[in-house]
């Protein structure tokens, strides 16, 4: 009987330890202005430039800004039939997803010239890379690892939090060996283990954009970028007037103590 009790205890306890989840709020370290009209779908910082993909039919662009002062360096307007989504920069190329056209656009990084397209099997939402493979999502709980040269899907992971699927994964960013993902229509970012799809952390950004900054058309949190120069994390949203540099603040899961800790701005 004693052995049975031990066995039952292990069965009950082990899943809980395997599914341990860290919760965070955020503290704002810095902020930079950005054009409020940008319907941000993808965000990346590299070599002193900020790359932005903006969405909506007839208003989709690939934009490159000087990150230090926000000056627009280059821009490309997409065909009116394409609704742009996530983007990432890998090697000498920029990759930009379309939402429902089943293609990924590939640009030459040096001058933003479109050089080719890669096929997608379905919708495109978020996009990042792990230095060798592209990683994209289609709005489901799946993330796809793709060869940047052949567009071949090398593997797929199902994203789960404590054993349950996490869907509506939107903008993606590779951060220190993990995948960070906006969860669409929420104020939450999840941190995903790329080996097995398990969510290891949940970041609450409720209240990041102050109420007085909202205007008609201000939309949801969307956009994550890590600056390789210093490791800083920057986030924004669709038609937000600011990019925010954030740091994580550990907290408990108790909603009574999970106060938003964004500094006054």
pLDDT at site 253: 62
Mind listing the pLDDT tens digit for each residue in 47-77?
999 999 999 999 999 999 999 999 999 999 9
List the end-to-end C-alpha distance of the chain, in Å, as a whole number. Answer: 61
Query: How far is residue 99 from each of residues 53, 122, 125, 194, measured CA to CA in Å?
Result: 12, 9, 6, 23
pLDDT at site 4: 34
Do the beta carbons of residue 230 and residue 237 sit within 8 Å? no
pLDDT at site 20: 81
Strand-strand pairing, 199-204 and 22-33 = parallel
Q: Which two tokens stand for residue 56?
A: 């909506």
Do the beta carbons of residue 209 and residue 260 sit within 8 Å? no
Q: What is the sign, positive or negative, of the torsion defined by CA atoms of 146, 234, 182, 175?
A: positive
The Cα–Cα gap between 201 and 203 comes to 7
The Cα–Cα gap between 207 and 252 comes to 18
Neighbours of 226 (CB within 10 A): 20
Separation of CA 203 from chain center: 12
Residue with more model confidence, 10 or 123: 123
pLDDT at site 65: 98
Query: How far is residue 202 from each of residues 77, 134, 156, 183, 195, measured CA to CA in Å?
Result: 35, 23, 22, 10, 18
Mean pLDDT value of segment 188-199: 97
Across the chain, what does the average pLDDT equal?
A: 89
The Cα–Cα gap between 125 and 191 comes to 17
């Amino acid at each position: 009987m004693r052995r049975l009790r031990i066995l039952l205890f292990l069965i009950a306890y082990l899943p809980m330890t395997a599914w341990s989840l860290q919760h965070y709020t955020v503290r704002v370290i810095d902020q930079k202005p950005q054009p409020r009209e940008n319907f941000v779908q993808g965000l990346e910082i590299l070599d002193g430039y900020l790359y932005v993909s903006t969405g909506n039919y007839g208003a989709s662009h690939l934009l490159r800004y000087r990150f230090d002062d926000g000056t627009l360096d280059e821009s490309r307007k997409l065909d009116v039939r394409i609704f742009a989504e996530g983007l990432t920069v890998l090697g000498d190329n920029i990759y930009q997803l379309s939402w429902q056209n089943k293609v990924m656009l590939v640009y030459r990084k040096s001058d933003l010239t479109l050089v080719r397209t890669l096929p997608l099997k379905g919708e495109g939402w978020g996009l990042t890379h792990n230095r060798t493979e592209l990683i994209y999502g289609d709005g489901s709980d799946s993330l796809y690892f793709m060869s940047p040269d052949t567009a071949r899907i090398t593997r797929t992971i199902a994203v789960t939090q404590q054993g349950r699927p996490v869907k509506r994964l939107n903008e993606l960013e590779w951060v220190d060996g993990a995948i960070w993902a906006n969860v669409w229509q929420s104020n939450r970012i999840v941190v995903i283990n790329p080996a097995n799809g398990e969510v290891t952390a949940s970041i609450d950004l409720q209240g990041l954009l102050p109420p007085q900054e909202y205007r008609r058309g201000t939309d949801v949190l969307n956009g994550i970028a890590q600056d390789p120069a210093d490791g800083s994390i920057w986030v924004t949203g669709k038609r937000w007037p600011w990019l925010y540099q954030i740091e994580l603040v550990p907290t408990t899961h108790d909603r009574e103590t999970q106060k938003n800790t964004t500094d006054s701005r």
